[in-house]
């Protein structure tokens, strides 16, 4: 599933966990703060890299190459979030977090990295931009929440920007996978054909199509879940401001 998609839903569950009375111990909290600060800085590096490359080239075409390495590094670094859930320092579902993190890692490595022909597609820049803004906000949100000093502006951004970033990211991801299909079919990338000693076959082309189809039921569910979360989290503050 989607990467911008993955970020928003994962956040909803993690945000709920942060509100639980019993949080991580002092050592775990210190580690999580450092982790989230590093990840925030990493995605800021990606954002700066995109802006600098755009200003230098005067065009948004092919900007992926300017941030390819840090994107792969910090997106892969999100795998640690699965470990955080597994050891219990973050009270989120291991299965759900694993699915959402690995969907982004999959798009990063198994599609964009593996099919070099799609790297110059504008759709890649579309989802990379959505991921970058989403992650800067998300990791900042977690950092300040752990420190018990969450600015309202960050909380508002956390539950507002997804309205545009989520569809933007999903669109970029789908278009990128779609652009990869002809090359996957032509080269037989990652496919296994019969006969072979394992008596097993796998068609990566069909697999990618099934992934695209999975967006149809999942996207609306995750999107409207975040809409409900927004009303729940920001509703009281907005009602209070109207009274004032």
Q: Which of 139, 166, 204, 205 is catalytic?
A: 166
Q: Which of 173, 204, 205, 215 is catalytic?
A: 173
Instruction: Identify any residues that bridge with 192 across adjacent strands, giving them in sequence order.
Output: 202
Distance CA 244, CA 241 (A): 5
- Clarify whether 244 is annotated catalytic: no
Report residue 142 as tokens: 């977690």
The pLDDT of residue 19: 43
Q: What averages of pLDDT result for each successive group of 10 residues across the chain (244 residues)?
A: 51 45 83 98 98 95 95 98 96 88 96 97 97 98 97 97 97 98 97 91 98 94 92 72 41
Return phi, psi of residue 192, to 5°: -125, 125
Classify 218 as helix, strand or coil. Answer: helix
Alpha-carbon Rg for the chain in angstroms: 19
Q: Where are the domains of the chain?
A: 26-236
Q: pTM to 2 decimals?
A: 0.87
The pLDDT of residue 244: 39
The pLDDT of residue 29: 97
């Amino acid at each position: 599933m989607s990467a911008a998609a993955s970020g928003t839903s994962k956040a909803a569950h993690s945000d709920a966990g942060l509100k639980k009375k019993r949080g991580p111990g002092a050592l775990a909290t210190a580690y999580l703060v450092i982790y989230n600060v590093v990840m925030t800085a990493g995605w800021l590096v990606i954002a700066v890299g995109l802006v600098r490359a755009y200003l230098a080239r005067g065009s948004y075409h092919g900007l992926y190459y300017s941030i390819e390495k840090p994107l792969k590094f910090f997106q892969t670094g999100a795998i640690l979030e699965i470990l955080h859930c597994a050891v219990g320092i973050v009270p989120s579902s291991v299965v759900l977090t694993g699915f959402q993190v690995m969907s982004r890692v999959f798009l990063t490595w198994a599609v964009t990295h593996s099919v070099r022909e799609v790297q110059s597609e504008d759709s890649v820049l579309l989802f990379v931009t959505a991921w970058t803004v989403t992650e800067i906000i998300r990791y900042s949100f977690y950092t300040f929440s752990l420190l018990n000093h969450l600015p309202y502006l960050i909380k508002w951004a956390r539950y507002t920007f997804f309205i545009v970033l989520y569809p933007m990211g999903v669109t970029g991801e789908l278009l990128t996978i779609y652009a990869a299909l002809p090359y996957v079919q032509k080269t037989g990338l990652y496919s296994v054909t019969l006969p072979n000693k394992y008596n097993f076959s796998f068609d990566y082309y069909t697999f990618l199509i099934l992934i695209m189809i999975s967006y149809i039921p999942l996207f609306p569910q995750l999107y409207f879940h975040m809409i409900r979360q927004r009303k729940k989290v920001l509703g009281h503050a907005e009602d209070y401001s109207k009274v004032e």
